[in-house]
Amino acid sequence: MTTTDMAVPQPIQVSRDLTEDDLRAALASGWDDFKAAPQFGLFFAMFYVLGGVALYFGLFARGEWAWFIPIAAGFPLLAPFAAVGLYQASRLREAGKPQNWGEILGAIRGRGDEQLLLMAVTVLIFFGFWVILARGIFAIFFSRSGIGGETMGMLLSGPGVLMVIVGSAAGALVALALFTVTVASLPMLLDRDVDFVTAMISSAEVVRSNPQTMMKWAGVIAVALFVAMIPVFLGLLVVLPVLGHATWHLYRRAIPAGAELAAHDTVHPGDDLPTPPRMADAPPTSVPDPQDRDGGDGMTRPAGLDAPRGGQADDLQKITGIGPKLEAMLNGMGYFHFDQIAGWGAAEIAWLDANLEGFKGRASRDDWVGQARKLSTGS
């Protein structure tokens, strides 16, 4: 290998078919995690709330509201890192392991390789950049007033309104950039043995591959955090934990457990790394007629039921990756219970992967069978 060659990892495979159903499922799972162990969410959110309240009274008491506005606006930028402990709580609950303070507080240290610390530094750099940028925008519009000469009435003036518009646009771009590189990278650094650069690239790939869905998720986070901050930050005691837990579940859906790093390849600087192929874009295969039990090609339609047993179907949305639309589709095929899914073999899964219109490949990628077995046995 020459000195111009570099060894770089292949990109981690990410899902390219995230939908609004996945966002709803993530929020529902996040709410369930919060209700199951609220003490962890309240603990981490408390520091966030107390910090905001201290800033509010400290800066307003000194009449420096212009400092408070950019800091408050940029406060949500720190939310992803504040949620690391929440990711661990969801991770432990998902694995059926006991949630204890030692494990959850220990998550803040990461995996002991300083990668999470480097990610935290990146988040703080973004926050510092935003504060400097916001102060620069203020100076441009109110250069004559000077720092410390602010009045609330200035915001209602023509330059004040224009400053808010420009500042909001600039802040949105900074927040979007940070969201792109952290939405999946922080939970990934907690979950996998990867470096923080690979985690950020993978996170950006999730956003690039699912732009509409991820922009909606960014909007949900922004609106929820903004509304939660209005009552003296107190709404964050609930909103921040739910969003933190939900982000873990969305990460699980966006980067499936089997999407491990491939072996390192040798490439030259400037070479384009191949984008992992979308599972649903694989060469088409012949699929059996929906009425056939065996198409002779290694795929078999799972046996269904005419109606749920006892007139009561299981809540299939408890399976990560199944939202309202998928649940309705599965019910329409005759699949209502966890034990039905738990009994599927490779041939049945192959049939589902090929026949779930709009969700092809989902059954195997999200390991429905493994999840259903845990749910059906209560383990």
Residue 274 scores a pLDDT above 60: no
Residue 149 scores a pLDDT above 70: no
Min mean pLDDT across 55-59, 246-250, 294-298 is at 294-298
Residue 284 scores a pLDDT above 80: no
Residue 376 scores a pLDDT above 80: yes
pLDDT in the model for residue 205: 92
pTM of the complete model: 0.62
- Rounded to an integer, what distance in angstroms lies between the CA atom of residue 318 and that of residue 44? 26
- Rounded to an integer, what distance in angstroms lies between the CA atom of residue 103 and that of residue 114? 17
pLDDT in the model for residue 64: 59
- Rounded to an integer, what distance in angstroms lies between the CA atom of residue 29 and that of residue 84? 17
Choose between 13 and 259: higher pLDDT.
13
pLDDT in the model for residue 58: 61
| Confidence category of residue 27, pLDDT binned at 50, 70, 90 | very high
pLDDT in the model for residue 35: 93
- Rounded to an integer, what distance in angstroms lies between the CA atom of residue 185 and that of residue 84? 11
Residue 74 scores a pLDDT above 60: no
Choose between 298 and 340: higher pLDDT.
340
Taking only the tens place, the pLDDT of each residue in 104-147 is 888 777 666 677 777 777 777 877 777 788 778 777 777 655 44
Taking only the tens place, the pLDDT of each residue in 206-233 is 999 999 999 999 999 888 888 887 777 7
Q: What's the mean pLDDT in 304-328?
A: 86
pLDDT in the model for residue 225: 81
Choose between 355 and 131: higher pLDDT.
355
Residue 254 scores a pLDDT above 60: yes
Residue 262 scores a pLDDT above 50: no
Min mean pLDDT across 9-18, 166-175, 233-242, 303-312 is at 9-18
Taking only the tens place, the pLDDT of each residue in 76-88 is 555 666 678 888 8
Ranges 59-73, 271-285, 286-300, most confident: 59-73
pLDDT in the model for residue 147: 47
Residue 62 scores a pLDDT above 80: no
Nearest alpha-carbon partner for 129 in 181, 180, 74, 196: 74
pLDDT in the model for residue 335: 93
pLDDT in the model for residue 357: 76
Query: Per the structure block, which two tokens stand in for 206?
Result: 């999730």
Residue 239 scores a pLDDT above 60: yes
